[in-house]
Structure formats: structure tokens, C-alpha cells
Amino acid sequence: MIAARNGPARQRAGNYRALERNIESGNPDEQGRRARLMADAQRGDRDAYGALLNDLGPIVMRFVRRHVRDGNDTEDVYQDVFTALHRARHTYDASRPFEPWLFAIARRVVNDHERRRLTRATHETTVGVLPERSIEADGHLKIQLEQALRRLSAAQREAIRLVKLLGLPAERAAVAAGTTAGAVKVRAHRAYRLLRELL
């Protein structure tokens, strides 16, 4: 029974190692170039850092897509990997291969994400039918909501409408709002947080 429970975790760990080996056993010139770019970035070379991040983008996205179960979360996890890489860049030892260091960071971010997802899933309850409570019956709630919405910026109201009310994915909401998906997510999150404080 224990082996069955550990099976998927062991399989994921094996997949991580196989992907790492695949990239690590790739072109040695590429590996050396990435290590040099990272070393230059540590010394403050912005161009080298930009080139490194551009080079890593597709590699990290493939890794994330293979290991994140919910496809809606891949973009967030992808960004989290690069944020973690940025925060940990000073820990890279230029005398060692770059890719194992990168995949250790990516693996930790993916594992943290999966752990949070599982924790959320155990605490959430799926409801088959939503309760039918009319806001018209609670006139004071409608007034409070209208007042709270007026306190939001126009961009925040639009983000709430597109993401929370219409249920659009961030990418489609961004097109409708004429901005980036990240900006829509930030606006919606800040608006939602402010509404929770006001209500």
C-alpha cells in the first residue's frame, strides 16, 4: 500500500531526473554558455542576464508543463521559477554546472506548488448547487457593494468584471482590457482584496 502511494511521487522524481539528464547531456557548448552568462549576470551584466533568461524560457516552460497538473497554473509556476531563480542567483557557483542548479530550483517551486494545491483541495468543498440568495432581498448589501465598487479604480473594476464576473482566463481578459495577463491578475487580486476589506 505504501509503495502504491509513493509510486506517482517516485515517478515524478524519476521524470525530473530524466529531464535534467536530457538537458544536461545536451550540447556542452550550450551548457558552458549558460554557466558563463550566469557568472556574467552575477557580476552585474544585464545583457548577459537577459540573454540567459531568454535562453531558459522554453526549457523552463517545458519542465513546468510536464510537472504541473493543472494547466491553468503553468504560467504562474513558470513565473515563480524565474522569481526564485532571480532571488537565488547569488548562490550559483560558477565552477559547477548551471543546469542542475536551475532544475533544483525549478523542482522545489513545482513541489511547493503541488503541495499548496493539494492542501487547498483538501480544504475546499465542491458544491453542486449554489444557494439562491438574492441581493435584492438584502438591499443594504447591494448599497454596500455599490459603494465598495466605487472605491476601486476603473482598471480594477474592469479586471473584477472580466476575471471574477465573466470568468475569463487572464489571457483573454488581458486582450479585452488592452494590457498584459500579469497586469490583469494583479489588478483583479488587489481589487478583490480591497473589496474583502470593505465588505
Count of Cβ atoms closer than 10 Å to residue 175 Cβ: 14
pTM above 0.95, yes or no: no
The tens digit of pLDDT for each residue in 128-178 reads 666 565 555 566 777 787 888 888 888 888 888 888 888 888 888 888 888
Residue 110: band (very low, low, confident or very high) from pLDDT cuts 50, 70, 90:
very high
- pLDDT at residue 79 in the model: 94
Computed on alpha carbons and rounded to an integer, the radius of gyration of the chain in Å comes to: 22
Q: Output b/e per residue, 119-132; b: 16+ Cβ within 10 A.
A: eeeeeeeeeeeeee
The tens digit of pLDDT for each residue in 68-79 reads 988 888 999 999
Share of the chain above pLDDT 90, in %: 35
Domains and CATH numbers, the chain: 10-123 (1.10.1740.10), 139-198 (1.10.10.10)
Sorted by sequence, the CB contacts under 8 Å of residue 142 that are 6+ apart come out as 135, 136
Find, among 9, 19, 87, 116, the residue nearest to 59 by Cα.
19
- pLDDT at residue 17 in the model: 54
Given a cut of 70, whether residue 24 has pLDDT beyond it is no
Using CB atoms within 10 A of its CB, is residue 48 exposed (0-12), middle (13-18) or buried (19+)?
middle
- pLDDT at residue 133 in the model: 57
